[in-house]
Amino acid sequence: MARALSLFWRQPFLALVVRRKPMLCKMSTDSHARKVFAAAVEAVQPNSVVRQSIERNGDSVIIDGHKFTLKRNLHLVGFGKAVLGMAAEAERLLGDHLVKGIVSVPHGIQQTLQQHGKDHLLLKENCGIKVMEGAKHNLPDADAQKAAEEIKHLASELTEKDILLVLISGGGSALLPAPIPPISLQEKLDVTRRLAAAGATIQELNTVRRALSDLKGGGLVHYAHPAQVVALILSDVVGDPLDLIASGPTVQSEVGPGEVLSVLERYKLLNSLPASVNDVLGRISQRTKGNKNEMDESEHVLNVVIGSNSIALECAGHRARELGFQPVVLSPRVCGDVRSVSRLYSLLARFACSREEPSAEIAAEILSLGPEVGVESRDLSQTMEFLDKGRTERWDATCLLAGGEPTVELTGKGLGGRNQELALRVGLEMSGLELPPNGPVFLSGGTDGQDGPTEAAGAITDAGLLMEAQAQGLDINSFLANNDSYTFFSHLSAGQHLLVPGLTCTNVMDLHMLLIPSVPTDKSQPTHQVCP
């Protein structure tokens, strides 16, 4: 068996320190999962990521190893759901050199932050940064368009002596709408809505948005030229692609018209586009990419990712270690259909908890899922190697962490989100397996604190889910068929499985966690743990 597995694993064993701690019961594991999730969210708070990325040194500032001289020449713009807290911290650190600023933030956010006691993420009155709220329900609207116009105006007045600090986070696309004339805001919105409804990914959506917008795809840099542009980015896209996060206003788009047209064709929109959109797409086809102006403009830009899913996973790992788990990070790029993703986690649970050597078939199935769920074979192999070591060396507990953004194909009309649906599916799949009764526990949560249109961020499940649901007269499969995971978890055990952290003020996609207890390899040993 070991030989069979070694065919799949090419990476050397990781050096590990094995510690002995008391075995965990399921209730405490559940609370540990919540603590680890909280640490992940804490690591990517907008104010702390900005604080960590800006080094102030008298009248100069160092960002990502680059030094800039401050001479009352700093201007600030921002757009995105987490940008207010980022701007508040930037103002605290650099406010004495700030000339003017404008941030475009979600409708109602200031009031919400106040109500949640998050005053440290709000800007002081008269601080020189104008806060413009818009994009109700995450959709571009006239208010967001006005903010985009003011941001464009601010950028276009800058000279080579100026620095433009650009704060970017998820939701930035809707908060910076600047359709290229003659496209109207409504026409642009209709195109993106139809693409989204047809199942286009965020990469595809933003490929099209960039082509129809004056500020996206490097447009903002164009207006700010010749000023120095420094963009601090909180990433909410798998793989942190600079040109796609908030549709890349500070990154010259390398994508030609062919790619834009092929997205529109893929979702059968090509023959039903408004004349204005066809007009703009036609003009883009004639524009030559990589011309001298664009190269000059790019030389004045520094783009830095200051917060991401990887950073959240790293800090989650530290917290897990403090709580007595051996952490292992699978990948920050988990995506694909929620069914394949749930299959992956239930297989990993089975693999880790096997009382005998796990079979080569499980390992092979895990590896075969890789391409569907966006995880490299190397990462899967390393993780299995780690889990196998934990199993054979009888570690007290292991914490497998991953992140990303799976997708749900909506077929029902229920209330739920991809995290709750994933947790429900993993719980259901684990219920059919022979697993120790004290674990594993699975958590899936959106780091923004909101999973789909629900007040929960996600849910926590384990192998006892099916029995628990049956005892309470809840039929998991009918809830799943109706995409009604939130309703299911609200009814189950008075909502105890729901993860409800409230407003987190950040967003670096989702976090997945599998907490795996120590598994006795000797069959004679009991597996039941009693909670104190």
Ligand X SMILES: Nc1ncnc2c1ncn2[C@@H]1O[C@H](COP(=O)(O)OP(=O)(O)OP(=O)(O)O)[C@@H](O)[C@H]1O
CA 12 to mean position of chain CA atoms: 30
Q: Which does 173 bind (CB under 5 to 8 A by kind): ligand DGY, ligand X, none?
A: ligand DGY
Judge whether 173 and 148 are in contact, CB under 8 Å.
no
**Residue whose C-alpha is closest to residue 347's, from 336, 357, 358:** 358
**Residue whose C-alpha is closest to residue 169's, from 510, 508, 511:** 508
Element (H, E) at 65: none
Which three-class secondary structure string do you get for 311-330?
A: HHHHHHHHHHHHCCCEEEEE
Q: Which of 46, 134, 170, 249 binds ligand X (CB under 6 A)?
A: 170
DSSP percent split of the chain into helix, strand, coil, nearest 5 = 45, 20, 35
Dig out the tokens for 275 from the structure.
């004349």
Tell me how far, at minimum, the Cβ of 133 lies from ligand DGY, in Å: 16
204 is an interface residue for ligand X by CB under 6 A: no
Tell me how far, at minimum, the Cβ of 253 lies from ligand DGY, in Å: 13
Place of tokens 């908060």: 175
Q: Which does 206 bind (CB under 5 to 8 A by kind): ligand X, ligand DGY, none?
A: ligand DGY
416 is an interface residue for ligand X by CB under 6 A: yes
C-alpha to C-alpha distance for 459 and 424, rounded to whole angstroms: 8
Report CA-CA distances (Å) from 290 to 4, 256, 437, 493: 50, 11, 60, 59
Site size for ligand X (CB under 6 A):
21
- The verdict on whether omega for the bond into residue 179 sits within 30 degrees of 0, i.e. cis, is no
Q: Which does 213 bind (CB under 5 to 8 A by kind): ligand DGY, ligand X, none?
A: none
Tell me how far, at minimum, the Cβ of 17 lies from ligand X, in Å: 37
**Per CB under 6 A, which region of 169-177, 250-258, 399-407, 514-522 contacts ligand DGY?**
169-177
C-alpha to C-alpha distance for 362 and 354, rounded to whole angstroms: 10
Residues 436-495 that bind ligand X (CB under 6 A): 446, 448, 450-452, 483, 485
> Helix (H) and strand (E) counts for the chain?
21, 15
C-alpha to C-alpha distance for 114 and 298, rounded to whole angstroms: 39
171 is an interface residue for ligand X by CB under 6 A: yes
Q: Which of 41, 88, 103, 408 binds ligand X (CB under 6 A)?
A: 408
Judge whether 400 and 325 are in contact, CB under 8 Å.
no
**Residue whose C-alpha is closest to residue 246's, from 148, 156, 175, 164:** 175
Q: Which of 185, 242, 410, 433 binds ligand X (CB under 6 A)?
A: 410
Binding string, residues 93-132; x marks residues near ligand X by CB under 6 A? ----------------------------------------
Binding string, residues 126-165; x marks residues near ligand DGY by CB under 6 A? ----------------------------------------
H-type helices in 287-376, by residue range?
292-299, 309-322, 338-353, 360-373
Tell me how far, at minimum, the Cβ of 109 lies from ligand DGY, in Å: 15
507 is an interface residue for ligand X by CB under 6 A: yes
Tell me how far, at minimum, the Cβ of 343 lies from ligand DGY, in Å: 27
Binding string, residues 199-238; x marks residues near ligand DGY by CB under 6 A? ---x---x-----------------------------xx-
Tell me how far, at minimum, the Cβ of 50 lies from ligand DGY, in Å: 18
Binding string, residues 207-246; x marks residues near ligand X by CB under 6 A? -----------------------------x----------
Pick between residue 81 and residue 497 the one whose CB is nearest to ligand DGY: 81
Dig out the tokens for 87 from the structure.
């701007």
**Per CB under 6 A, which region of 26-34, 90-98, 170-178, 257-265 contacts ligand DGY?**
170-178
Pick between residue 171 and residue 370 the one whose CB is nearest to ligand DGY: 171
Report CA-CA distances (Å) from 377 to 34, 332, 404: 29, 14, 17
Q: Which residues bind ligand X (CB under 6 A)?
A: 138, 170-171, 236, 407-408, 410, 414-418, 421, 446, 448, 450-452, 483, 485, 507
Q: Which residues bind ligand DGY (CB under 6 A)?
A: 170-173, 202, 206, 236-237, 245-247
